Homo-oligomer: A and B are copies of this chain.
Amino acid sequence: MDQQQARTWLATAVTEARAGLAEGGIPIGAALYGADGTLLGRGHNRRVQDGDPSLHAETAAFRAAGRQRSYRGTTMVTTLSPCWYCSGLVRQFGISRVVIGEAVTFHGGHDWLAEHGVEIVLLDDPECAALMRTFTTAHPALWNEDIGED
């Protein structure tokens, strides 16, 4: 896909990540875009805010999009490489593409998704990485809880 388009869409996810941080939450944001470029849903990690471990950024965006008959041609945009939970979501529902802000602070399942035919666009965005570095340094236990690390 066009890199400028990817960066424009990433900005939506970054806005979500910043909103999560402002609420005292884990600064990861995501957005689901339709095949025609329509924004279907957006959201951010809500572990802290709602005490809900099931709402990672990607699942929050997926949930916000509501029921869809098909995910063919859709793009999940996320500030961070998707964990196995969120990668499984992408594979099961046939989301066609994942745009990723960065995969340096956490490397999830995006290689596995690429092997299974999902288009991966990795942007190496400095702000996404800085948000995570600052947060995980300040709150390591919370981050470990969010990714199931003992």
State the A residues within 8 Å of B (CB): 47, 51-54, 59, 62-63, 65-72, 83-89, 91-94, 109, 145, 147-150
Contact = CB atoms under 8 A, between A and B. Distances in A.
A68 B53 contact: yes
Given A59-B54, A85-B93, A89-B85, A67 B145 contact: yes
5 contacts: A47-B67, A53-B65, A53-B68, A69-B145, A84-B91
Chain A binding surface SS class: loop
A148 B92 contact: yes
Given A94-B148, A94-B150, A150-B94, A66 B88 contact: no
Nearest to A62: B54
Contacts of A66: 51-53
Given A51-B66, A54-B62, A109 B94 contact: no
A150 B72 contact: yes
Nearest to A150: B70
